[in-house]
């Protein structure tokens, strides 16, 4: 049987490889990305540096540093305080994509934890950075491209995909307290800035919606559109509102905050195919956007 291949982009979310099989047009999706456009940074090296950063934050003392040798108790001395913050949170996620290629998109339970450095002086403005673990999940119906399964682009979304994405995120934020930390026990603050995102693992399970049989269950290579580093590094914008209560007689505090992460880089999810290729082309992929709300409870020390 003769096969004639030609490739065209049918939307910004999918690339389609049209395959003529005995006069019947069958459509497959392929990823089109030039690896030379990404920085040559391996995920293993990136995660190793993240581990070093995490240990450094844990070992860094929480204390004040004075400028130009001035005593921190001397009036007018500039005091730079470094505090650590540890928090955990559930995640409420929001997903969107091109509905021509999926149906019944549903967010599932997500969660995360964050270790931060809160850096600044006694004034209201501070700088916040650190490292966080985020795990999100979603489910949707779409195609499943493998021998004997989806072959015609007919919007028959007969296969359920359940996907979990695990990220490392590094916030680079400005924090503004509405009152000074030294003068008030209770404080309200806002945060805004950029979040660097690195996907380090993904998992998917695909079920036949007609028979209920499981067709695929395993790891998937989830990447990012407009990668900033490697092919899995994305970015988001974050805005947050928080309340902090300093524990009496010690310099520690507890806090409650709500953070909203807004999509900048979309995820690229390959429809699992167990090595199935069309004319040597890698597996299909689907781009979708993700924003999330985290309600965090934490301890500052």
pLDDT at 273: 60
Alpha-carbon distance of 169 to 130, in angstroms, equals 8
Domain boundaries, the chain: 41-69+78-300
pLDDT at 77: 52
- Residue 272 and residue 144 in contact, taking contact as beta carbons nearer than 8 Å: yes
Rg (CA), the chain: 24
Q: Which DSSP string corresponds to the chain?
A: --EEEEEEE-SSS-EEEEEEETTEEEEEE-----GGGS----HHHHHHHHHHHHHHHHHS---EEESTT--TTSTT--EEEEEEEEEEEEEEEEEE--GGG-EEEEEEEEEEEEEEEEEE-SSSEEEEEEEEEEEEEEEEEE---STTS--S-S----EEEEEEEEEEEEEEEEEEESS-TTT-SEEEEEEEEEEEEEEEEEEEEEEETTT--EEEEEE---EETT-SSTTTEEEEEEEEEEEEEEPTTSS-EEEEEEEEEEESS-EEEEPP-TT--BTTBPPPEEEEEEEEEEEEEEEE-
Which has more confidence, 119 or 19?
119
Residue 215 in this model has a pLDDT that exceeds 70: yes
Residues 239-288 pLDDT 10s: 999 999 988 777 799 999 999 999 999 999 887 665 555 555 545 678 89
CA distance 293 to 110: 10
Report in angstroms the alpha-carbon separations of 109 from 92, 164, 209. Answer: 7, 10, 22
Percent of the chain with pLDDT over 70: 67
Residue 3 confidence class, pLDDT cut points 50, 70, 90 = very low
Q: Token pair for residue 243?
A: 């309340």
The pLDDT confidence band at residue 1, using thresholds 50, 70 and 90, is very low
Asked which of 43-47, 224-228, 254-258 is least confident by mean pLDDT, the reply is: 43-47
Residue 37 tokens read as 């456009």
Residue 53 to residues 58, 81, 115, 131: CA-CA distances in angstroms? 9, 19, 10, 8
In this predicted model, what pLDDT tens digit does every residue of 10-31 receive, in sequence order?
344 444 433 333 222 333 344 4
Q: Does domain 41-69+78-300 have CATH number 3.40.50.1220?
A: no
Percentage of the residues of the chain whose pLDDT score is greater than 90 = 45
Query: Residues with Cβ < 8 Å from 211, sequence gap 6 or more?
Result: none
pLDDT at 134 over 80: yes
């Amino acid at each position: 049987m003769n096969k004639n291949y030609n490739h065209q982009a049918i939307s910004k979310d999918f690339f389609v490889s049209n395959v003529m099989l005995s006069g019947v047009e069958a459509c497959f999706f392929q990823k089109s990305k030039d690896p030379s456009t990404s920085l040559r940074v391996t995920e293993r090296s990136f995660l190793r540096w993240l581990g070093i950063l995490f240990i450094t934050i844990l070992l860094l003392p929480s204390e004040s540093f004075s400028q130009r040798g001035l005593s921190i108790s001397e009036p007018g001395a500039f005091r730079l305080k470094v505090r650590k913050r540890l928090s955990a949170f559930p995640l409420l996620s929001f997903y969107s994509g091109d509905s021509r290629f999926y149906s019944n998109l549903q967010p599932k339970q997500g969660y995360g934890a964050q270790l931060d450095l809160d850096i600044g002086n006694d004034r209201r403005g501070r700088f916040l950075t650190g490292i966080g673990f985020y795990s999100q999940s979603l489910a949707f119906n779409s195609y499943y491209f493998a021998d004997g399964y989806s072959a015609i682009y007919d919007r028959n979304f007969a296969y359920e995909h359940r996907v979990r994405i695990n990220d490392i995120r590094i916030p680079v934020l400005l924090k503004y307290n509405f009152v000074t930390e030294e003068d008030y026990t209770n404080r309200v603050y806002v945060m805004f800035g950029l979040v660097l995102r690195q996907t380090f693992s993904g998992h998917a399970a695909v079920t036949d919606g007609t028979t209920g049989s499981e067709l695929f269950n395993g790891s998937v290579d989830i990447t990012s559109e407009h990668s900033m580093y490697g092919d899995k590094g994305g970015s988001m914008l974050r805005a947050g509102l928080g309340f902090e209560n300093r524990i009496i007689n010690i310099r520690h505090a507890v806090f409650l905050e709500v953070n909203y992460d807004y999509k900048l880089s979309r995820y690229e999810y390959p429809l699992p195919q167990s090595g199935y290729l069309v004319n040597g082309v890698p597996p299909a992929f689907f781009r979708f956007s993700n924003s999330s709300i985290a309600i965090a409870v934490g301890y500052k020390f």
